[in-house]
A and B are shown apart, each in its own frame.
Chain A
Amino acid sequence: MKGLAPLFLGIFGTFAFSWVGLTVIPNWQIGHLNPQSDEEGTDIYPMPQSGMVQWGARVYAANGCVYCHSEQVRADYAGADIERKWGDRRSAPRDYIFERPVFLGKMRMGQDLANIGARAPAEQESPSPSGGGNPGGSPTGPAQSPSPPTAQPKAQGAQSPGASAAPQQQPATSPATSPATSPTSPASKPATIAGAGTGIASPSPAAAAVVSSPGAPPLAGPPWPEQTAGLPPMYSAAWHHVHLYSPRSINFDSNMPSYRFLYQACRISDVRSSDALQLTGSDAPPEGWEIIPTYDAKCLVAYMMALNQSHPLKEVKSAGAAPAASPAASPSAAPGGQPPPK
C-alpha cells in the first residue's frame, strides 16, 4: 500500500461507518422516547425517578451489583425469564428512558431485578406500578410533618411507641427520616437531590390513585413473596435490608457477598429504631445494640423497590394473555409455581 491518504481515509471511514450505524442511527430511531399516557394524559409510564432512587442507582453502580444482576426480561420465546416470574412481559426501550446509568447487565449470578420492586408484598410496597420509583417517597409526602421530630434523635424511633415491637414498619417507608440520617453519610448533596426528586415525582400519587386499579391486578395477590421463617416478607424493603446484610441467613446457597459496610451498629438509647434490621441467630447484634441502614443502604433499597416494569406498554404484548385476563391467570398459576397457562 502506498501513501498515507488512502490508508487514513480507510481507517477513518470504517470507524465512522460503524459509529453512524451502531450508535447514531439507533439514537435517531429510539433515542428520544417519551413516557406513554392514555388519552386523558393520565396513567403516565414511566415516571421520573425520585432523588433517593437516583442516589440508590449510584450506590448500585459503585458496588458493582450490575456484574451479577441483569435488569431485563426477555420475551417468552427467547428465554425462561417470564416463566421464572421475573416479569410478565418483555422489557422495552421505553421502560428505561429515565434510567441513568442503565443497568441492563450481562451476567446472572443472581436473579434478574427488572421487576424486583413489583414482586414486593403489595400492601406494603410499591403502591403504584407506575411508581415513580419511590416506596413511600411521595405517599409519605403528607406524613412529612411528623417526621422532623424523628429526625433529630437519629437512632430513636420516637414517632411511634410501638416502633420497637413493629417489625412491619418498613425502613424504606421512612425516607422522610433520610434527610436527617444523611448528615452522617454523604451530606448535603443527596439531600438536595432528594428534595428535587420528590418535587419532580410529586404528580405520582395523583396518577397512582387513578391508575392503581388497572395496574395493580396482575400483582394484587402477591404470587411470589413468601414468608421466610422468622424474616420479613420476601422482597419487602425490610427483607432487602436483611438480605444485603446477611444473604446466607435467608438463602443458604447464595453466593452474594454481604454488604455490611452499608450498615452501622448503634447502641439502642431509648427505643429500638424503626429502621433496625430484624436479624436472627448469629447475625443478631449484641444485647442493647441494633443494626441500622446507612443512607446509602436506604437509597439502594429504594432503588430496588422502584424497579418495576409491570405497567403495560402499548408496544409490548404481555405474555400468556391479554392484560385483562392476566389477573385471573397469575394468582392461580402462582401458588404452585407453575408456568402461566398459555
Chain B
Amino acid sequence: MNPAGIPLKEPSVSAAAGDTEQLERALIDASTRVPVLIFYTSAMAWLILGTLLAGFVSFKLHTPDLLSDISFLTWGRVRPAHMNVMVYGWASMAGIGTAIWLMARLCRTVLRYPLLLVAGAVFWNLGVLLGLGGILLGDSTGYQWLEFPSYAAIILFVAYTLVASWAVLMFRFRRGEQIYISQWYLLGAFLWFPWLYAAGQLMLFVVPVQGVLQAAVGWWYANNLLFLWFGAIGLGTAYYMIPKVIGRPVYSYHLASIGFWSYALFSSWTGMQRLVDGPFPAWMVTASIAATILTLIPVATVGLNHHMTMQGYFPLMRYSPTLRFTVFGAMSYTVFSLVGVVISLRSVAGYVNFTEANIAYSHLGLYAFFTMVIFGSMYYIVPRLIGREWRYGSLIKLHFWASAYGIGLMTLMLLAGGFLQGASMENPSLAFTESVESVLPYLRGRSLAGILLTVSHFIFAYHFGLMLFGLGRKSTVPTFLNPVEAEGAEAHI
C-alpha cells in the first residue's frame, strides 16, 4: 500500500495478520466516530476562543488601558477565563477524545455505551460555558484553576463522572489479558481526575479548610491536574502513537512499568514547591521539592524508552505529521520536567517565585508537551474516523512550525523575563516598578509568540473543519509532510 515500503501506517495491516484484523479495527474506529468527534469539535471551538482570549490577555498586560472600562473584559477576568477555557475546554476535551479512541482500540472492542459519552460531552460543554460566563460576570472563586463558580463545577463534575464510569465499564469488555502501557496511564487519568476534582472542591468550597491551607489545597490540585490528568493522558498517548507509527514495539516493557509507578508516586507529591518561603510548615515545601527531584526517575525511564524505541527511525519525523508532533511533545515532557526541577530548587525559587517564569512552566507542560501530543494524535485519529486523509500536507507543516516556534519563543521569553524580573525584585535598592519594567519587553515578545500560536491554531481549525465537512483527500495513503517517493525515504532509515 505504501509506495516507498516504509511502515508509516498500520504496519501489521499489510502483513499476514491480514484482513480480519483490519476489518476489526475499522469497525472499532467507526464505533468511536460520534463521541470522539463531538469531543474534538468542542475542543477545537474552545481552542479558538481560548486563543483569542490569550491574545487579549497578553496584549493587555503591556497595554493596560486596552478596553479596560468594560467590567467583563478587565484583565483580571479575561485571564482566568483564558486559563479555564484552555484547561477544561480545549485540553481536557481533546484529551478525552483521544483517550476514548485509544481505550476502544486497546480494549479491542467496539465502543459500548456511547450515550454516556455524548451526555458527558454535553454536560462538559455546558459546564465550561457556564463557568466562563460566571468568571466574566464576576463570579470567579479566586482559586487558581478552580475559578469556575459552584454551579458550573457541579455540572462539570457530573460530566467527569459520566466519562470516568464509561472508562471503567469499557475496561470490563476488553479482550485479551495483556493491559498495554497506554491503558495504565489512561485508566489512571480517568480515575484520578474525578477524585482530584472532588477532593479540591470539597476542601475548598464544601467543607473549606482554614486559612493558608486553602492555598496548599489549591496548588496540590493544580499540580496534580497537570501531572495526573494531562500528563497521564499525554504520556499514554505518546506510548501508543510512537510505536504505532513507526511499527515497532516499545523498547522495554519493564522500563515502562518503572516509569509509570514512579510517575504516579512522585509527581502526585509535587505542588507545594510553589509555596516556597510562604507561611507554611517547611516540611511541606521540602517534601514537594524532593518529590519534584525524584520525578527525574520517570522522566529518565520514559525518555529513554521513547528514545530507544525511536532509535534509527528519527528520519520518519520528516514524513509523518503524527510522529513529528508526538516526538516534539515527548521531548518537551523532558524539558518541562527539567525546568520544573530547576525552578523548584530553593536557591532558584527565591528568584522566580513571583515571576512570569511560572507561566512559562505551565505552558511548557500544557502546550509544548500535552497539546503537541494531542495535535499529533488528532492527525492520526481524525482520518480514521472520517475516512478521508488530511487535505494539505503544507498546512500541517505550517501548523507544526508555527506551534513549535510559537511555544519555543514564548517559553524563552517568559523564562528569561521571569529571571530578570526576579533578579530586580530581590534587589531592594531598585524600585519595585523596575522589576515590572524589566519584564515588559519580554511580555511584548510573548505577544509576538502568541500571534504565531494564533496563526497555527486557525490553520489547524480550518484544516479540521475541512475534514469535518468531508472535504479531505480520498486516498489510502496518509498525508505526509514531504513527498515520500521523490526523496527516496529508505535512504533515511
Contact = CB atoms under 8 A, between A and B. Distances in A.
Interface string A280-320: 00000000000000000000000000000000000000000
A100 B208 contact: yes
Interface stretch (A121-129, A215-223, A255-263): A255-263
A97 B228 CA distance: 30
A111 B433 CA distance: 9
Most chain A beta-carbon neighbours within 10 Å: one of B209, B269, B358: B209
B350 interface: yes
Interface string A1-18: 111100110111011011
B217 A61 contact: no
A79 B264 contact: no
Contacts of A22: 216, 220, 269, 271-272, 284, 287-288
Contacts of A18: 220, 224, 268-269
A255 B436 contact: yes
Interface string B429-445: 00011011100100000
A100 B274 CA distance: 20
B191 A23 contact: no
Given A108-B435, A254-B433, A61 B140 contact: yes
Given A29-B281, A64-B77, A11 B274 contact: no
Contacts of A110: 436
B210 A101 contact: no
A19 to B, nearest CB: 6
A101 B428 contact: no
B437 A253 contact: yes
A41 interface: no
A15 B177 CA distance: 25
B409 interface: no
Nearest to B178: A2
Contacts of A273: none
Contacts of A70: 354
B179 interface: yes
A180 B488 CA distance: 81
B314 interface: no
A258 B69 contact: yes
Given A96-B211, A104-B212, A64 B187 contact: no
Contacts of A57: 142
Most buried by B among A57, A83, A251, A261: A261
A111 B431 CA distance: 11
B470 interface: no
Contacts of B138: 59, 62-63
Contacts of B425: 80, 108
Contacts of A257: 60, 64-65, 68, 74-76
Contact of B192 (A2, A15, A72, A251): A15
A143 interface: no
A32 B278 contact: no
Interface majority SS (helix, strand, loop, mixed), chain B: helix
B350 A1 contact: no
Given A23-B217, A67-B79, A96-B211, A259 B74 contact: yes
A63 B426 contact: no
A29 B280 CA distance: 10
B268 A108 contact: no
Interface in A35-84: 57, 59-68, 70, 72, 74-75, 78-80, 83-84
A93 B210 CA distance: 9
A92 interface: yes
Nearest to A80: B428
Interface in A220-263: 247-248, 251, 253-262
Contacts of A262: 71
A272 interface: no
Interface string B76-90: 110110000000000
B436 A97 contact: no
Interface string A109-140: 11100000000000000000000000000000
A65 B208 CA distance: 21
B171 A101 contact: no
A17 B228 CA distance: 14
A84 B426 CA distance: 9
A210 interface: no
Q: How large is the interface on A (under 10, 10 to 19, 20 to 34, 35 or more residues)?
A: 35 or more
Interface string B224-262: 100010000000000000000000000000000100010
B8 to A, nearest CB: 29
B286 to A, nearest CB: 12
A300 B320 CA distance: 55
Interface string A312-335: 000000000000000000000000
A108 B354 CA distance: 5
B271 A2 contact: no
A68 B203 CA distance: 25
Nearest to B190: A11
A103 B211 CA distance: 9
A80 B213 contact: no
A19 B199 contact: yes
B20 interface: no
Given A97-B210, A100-B208, A108-B425, A2 B140 contact: no
Nearest to A92: B279
Contact of B64 (A27, A31, A255): A255
A107 interface: yes
Contacts of B178: 2
A258 B63 CA distance: 11
A102 B76 contact: no
Contacts of A254: 64, 433
A167 interface: no
Contact of B216 (A26, A64, A95, A101): A26
B476 interface: no
A30 interface: yes
Interface string B165-186: 0000001000001110000100
Contacts of A62: 77, 138-140, 142
Contacts of B213: 23, 26-27, 30-31, 93
B211 A256 contact: no
A226 to B, nearest CB: 13
A33 interface: yes
B208 A10 contact: no
A10 B279 contact: no
A93 B212 contact: yes
B277 interface: yes
Contacts of B64: 247-248, 254-258
19 contacts: A2-B178, A11-B264, A26-B281, A30-B211, A60-B142, A61-B141, A80-B428, A93-B212, A93-B279, A96-B212, A100-B214, A101-B214, A105-B354, A106-B354, A248-B64, A254-B64, A255-B62, A255-B64, A257-B65
Going nearest first, the 8 A-B pairs with the smallest beta carbon separation are: A64-B76, A61-B142, A96-B211, A18-B268, A83-B428, A62-B138, A108-B354, A78-B277
Interface of B: 60-62, 64-65, 68-71, 74-77, 79-80, 138-144, 171, 177-179, 184, 187-188, 191-192, 195-196, 199, 203-204, 208-217, 220, 224, 228, 257, 261, 264-265, 268-269, 271-272, 274-281, 284, 287-288, 350, 353-356, 358, 425-428, 432-433, 435-437, 440
Given A60-B142, A63-B77, A99-B211, 15 more contacts: A11-B192, A15-B264, A29-B281, A62-B142, A64-B74, A64-B79, A67-B76, A67-B79, A72-B278, A74-B277, A79-B426, A111-B432, A257-B64, A257-B74, A261-B69
